[in-house]
């Protein structure tokens, strides 16, 4: 049985972590873009008004101000909806922040389909790919509230640009304060040698649900929480491929350029095995109930189970072809 410690949106993890950092580190400076309430910055702005600026709906300016603060020794955290932060300000992030290797932390909220009623314009489904392709950028996609807190606090003491992705909807809390978290190190949540299922963000829970179904059918899945997509944990990925022989990746993101692509890049160079990538298949999102959207776009545990069956069939053909 999966142990769940309640439900809470990952954006709350960001809001609570940034307040905790503000209390212990006077160099923390926070900037918003007219979405402070939605991304949980209100507590910080009230407690530390001299270290908070709302620049308004001006994302490119947001990056410029944060860069200036970083040059003067502050640790600026900037947050708004992921699609506006990563999309509108990409060139400034690339050239001003990453090219200069500035210590700016970018926090993209309302990522994935689970923004729900806000619809396609507000659903960040591409930003993992456009962030991870920039040199020097680190990309983190935590699986729950507690892991988001840990990711934000860790990023404050990780030199250089970091992008952290989190969401709007309440989701199960799978980890606790004692759970291991380190930037760049994936976590094995369930062991197994029949198939390796590697997931990030909201899809970690769905992967664990899938593992329970698979176990009843005699298939033992290794479930890996790949919270850091860049730098990715090559050692854990390669070992899982060697032990299991097949891989399924799962993400609330386009199948192009995200977690699945990152894992495929590792394996094609080191240990090629059959892979199935579960994600958004080259489509824009739409308005609707968050859970209904996950079902419609093929991101539920049943879809992961089907992907496992599919990749296991390919494993038999792959083995015959090689040997």
Q: What is the pLDDT of residue 2?
A: 85
Q: What is the pLDDT of residue 321?
A: 53
Helices 301-322 & 203-216 angle (0-180, nearest 10): 70
Domains of the chain by range and CATH? 7-172 (3.40.50.970), 187-322 (3.40.50.920)
Q: What distance in Å separates the CA atoms of residue 7 and residue 175, rounded to the nearest whole number?
A: 11
Q: What is the pLDDT of residue 117?
A: 87
Q: Which residue has the tokens 């603060």?
A: 69
Q: What is the pLDDT of residue 320?
A: 54
| Tokens describing residue 264 | 């495929």
The helix/strand/coil state of 246 is coil
Q: What is the pLDDT of residue 29?
A: 98
Parallel, antiparallel, or unpaired: how do β-strands 221-225 and 52-54 relate?
Answer: unpaired
pLDDT in tens, 5-23: 999 999 999 999 999 999 9
pLDDT in tens, 163-186: 999 999 999 999 999 999 999 999
Q: What distance in Å separates the CA atoms of residue 284 and residue 115, rounded to the nearest whole number?
A: 13
- Catalytically active residues are 59
Q: What is the pLDDT of residue 323?
A: 46
Contact 6, 49 (CB under 8 A): no
Parallel, antiparallel, or unpaired: how do β-strands 275-280 and 52-54 relate?
Answer: unpaired
Model pTM score: 0.96
Tens-digit pLDDT profile for the chain (323 aa)? 788 999 999 999 999 999 999 999 999 999 999 999 999 999 999 999 999 999 999 999 999 999 999 999 999 999 999 999 999 999 999 999 999 999 999 999 999 999 988 899 999 999 999 999 999 999 999 999 999 999 999 999 999 999 999 999 999 999 999 999 999 999 999 999 999 999 999 999 999 999 999 999 999 999 999 999 999 999 999 999 999 999 999 999 999 999 999 999 999 999 999 999 999 999 999 999 999 999 999 999 999 999 999 999 988 766 555 54
């Amino acid at each position: 049985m999966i142990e769940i410690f309640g439900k809470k949106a990952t954006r709350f993890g960001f809001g609570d972590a940034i307040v905790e950092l503000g209390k212990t580190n006077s160099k923390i400076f926070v900037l918003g873009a007219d979405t402070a309430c939605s991304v949980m910055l209100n507590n910080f702005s009230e407690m530390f008004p001299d270290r908070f600026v709302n620049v308004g709906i001006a994302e490119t300016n947001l990056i410029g101000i944060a860069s200036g603060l970083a040059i003067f020794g502050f640790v600026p955290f900037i947050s708004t909806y992921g699609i506006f932060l990563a999309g509108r300000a990409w060139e400034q992030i690339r050239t001003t922040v990453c090219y200069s290797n500035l210590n700016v932390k970018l926090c993209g909220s309302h990522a994935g389909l689970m923004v729900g009623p806000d619809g396609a314009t507000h659903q960040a489904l591409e930003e993992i790919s456009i962030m991870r392709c920039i040199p020097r950028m680190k990309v983190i996609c935590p699986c729950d509230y507690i892991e988001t807190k840990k990711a934000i606090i860790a990023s404050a003491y990780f030199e250089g640009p970091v992008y952290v992705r989190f969401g709007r909807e309440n989701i199960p809390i799978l980890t606790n304060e004692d759970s291991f978290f380190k930037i760049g190190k994936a976590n094995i949540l369930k062991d197994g040698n029949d198939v390796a299922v590697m997931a990030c963000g909201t899809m970690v829970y769905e992967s664990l649900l899938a593992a329970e179904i698979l176990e009843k059918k005699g298939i033992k899945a290794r479930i890996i929480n790949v919270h850091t997509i860049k730098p990715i944990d090559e050692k854990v990925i390669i070992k899982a491929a060697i032990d299991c022989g097949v891989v399924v990746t799962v993400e609330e993101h386009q199948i192009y350029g995200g977690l699945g692509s990152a894992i495929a890049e590792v394996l094609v160079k080191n240990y090629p095995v059959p892979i199935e990538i579960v994600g958004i298949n080259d489509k824009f999102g739409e308005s609707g109930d968050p859970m209904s959207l996950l079902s419609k776009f093929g991101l539920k545990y049943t879809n992961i189970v089907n992907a496992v069956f599919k990749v296991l069939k390919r494993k038999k053909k792959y083995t015959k072809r090689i040997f």
